[in-house]
Amino acid sequence: MPTECLFRDDSYLKQCDARVLAITEQGGIVLDRTVFYANSGGQPGDSGTLICADGTRVPIATAVYTDAAKSEIAHVPAPGAPALKPGDAVTAAIDWDQRHARMRMHTALHLLSAALPYAVTGGSVGERESRLDFDIPEAGLDKDAITAMVNEMIARNAAVSSRWITDEELAANPSLVKTMSVKPPLGTGRVRLIEIAGLDLQPCGGTHVRATAEIGAVRVTQIEKKGKQNRRVRLALI
C-alpha cells in the first residue's frame, strides 16, 4: 500500500498525523503518510517516534522502502517497542536535529559534486561527515582548494528548489539533460530534480536545506585513493 511521502514536497516537516495501514512480515509499520525519509541514495532513513492517541510512544530506529518502486515505507521499530496494529492513529515525529544535519550535509555534497565535475560512483550522508566517490584517473586534488570552493558556494546563499519533470518533458528538453551533473533515470514516468540556483542541477530524491548558507562552514577532511579510477572525498560540517 503506497505511503504519501510528505518529506518530498516539504523537507522541513518535523511531524504529521497518520494511520497505520499494515504491519510487514518483518514487523515494519506502514503508515498512510509520513515525514520519515526512507533509506535511499546514500542518505540513511530517519529515526524518531510514533506517538499514539493514548500517549504510548513507539521508538523508530529507521525507515526503509519495501518495494523497488519506492512507493511504500516501513518504519522499523526499535527492539522492544510497543506493538501497533492496522487502523491505529499516530503522530509520526522524526529526530529533527539528526535530519537537519543530514539535510545540510546532503546539500553540501551537491556543491562538492559541482566543485569536482567528475562522474560520481557512490556516496554516503552522515550527520558530521559525508563522502562522495569520484571516477577520476589521476588526482591532483587539493583539500584546501576544494574546501574554499565549496565554502564560497555556501556563502552565496543560493536557493535550493525541487520540481518534478515527466519523461516526456525530459525528452522534449535535451539541453536540460545536458546541464545536469547526473543523468536522470529513464522509464520511471517522472523524475524529481533538485536545482541549486546557478550551481547545480541533478535528479535526486533526498532532503535538502532551502538555501546554501544554512549548511554552515564545511571542510574537506580527507581524499583517499580507492582503486585506480576512484577518489573518495570526505566532507565534514565544522
Q: How far is the CB of 162 from Zn ion (least distance, A)?
A: 9
Stretch that binds Zn ion, among 16-24, 52-60, 63-71, 200-208 (CB under 5 A): 200-208
3-state secondary structure of 36: coil
Q: Look up residue 236 and give its three cell numbers.
A: 565534514
Number of residues that bind Zn ion (CB under 5 A): 2
Q: Please identify, using beta-carbon distances, which residue of 61 and 211 lies nearer to Zn ion.
A: 211
Provide the sign of the torsion angle of the four alpha carbons 203, 209, 214, 216, taken in this order.
Answer: negative
Q: How far is the CB of 198 from Zn ion (least distance, A)?
A: 17
Closest CA relative to residue 26, chosen from 69, 65, 70, 59 = 65
What whole-number distance in Å separates Cα of residue 226 and Cα of residue 74?
A: 34
Report the interhelical angle of 96-115 vs 143-155 (nearest 10°): 110
Stretch that binds Zn ion, among 31-39, 82-90, 114-122, 205-213 (CB under 5 A): 205-213
Q: Please identify, using beta-carbon distances, which residue of 41 and 59 lies nearer to Zn ion.
A: 41
What whole-number distance in Å separates Cα of residue 187 and Cα of residue 178?
A: 18
Q: Does 114 contact Zn ion by CB under 5 A?
A: no
Radius of gyration of the chain (CA): 19
Closest residue to Zn ion in the complex (CB):
204
Stretch that binds Zn ion, among 26-34, 112-120, 135-143, 204-212 (CB under 5 A): 204-212
Applying CB under 5 A, among 206, 215, 220, 232 the residue interacting with Zn ion is: 206
Positions in 42-71 near Zn ion (CB under 5 A): none
Q: Does 184 contact Zn ion by CB under 5 A?
A: no
What whole-number distance in Å separates Cα of residue 107 and Cα of residue 198?
A: 14
Q: Please identify, using beta-carbon distances, which residue of 77 and 206 lies nearer to Zn ion.
A: 206
Q: Are 116 and 134 in contact (CB under 8 A)?
A: yes
Other CB atoms within 10 A of residue 60 CB: 26
Q: Please identify, using beta-carbon distances, which residue of 132 and 204 lies nearer to Zn ion.
A: 204
Stretch that binds Zn ion, among 29-37, 77-85, 115-123, 196-204 (CB under 5 A): 196-204
Supply φ then ψ for residue 219, to 5 degrees.
-145, 135
Stretch that binds Zn ion, among 27-35, 96-104, 197-205, 211-219 (CB under 5 A): 197-205
Q: Does 204 contact Zn ion by CB under 5 A?
A: yes
**Interface with Zn ion by CB under 5 A: which residues?**
204, 206
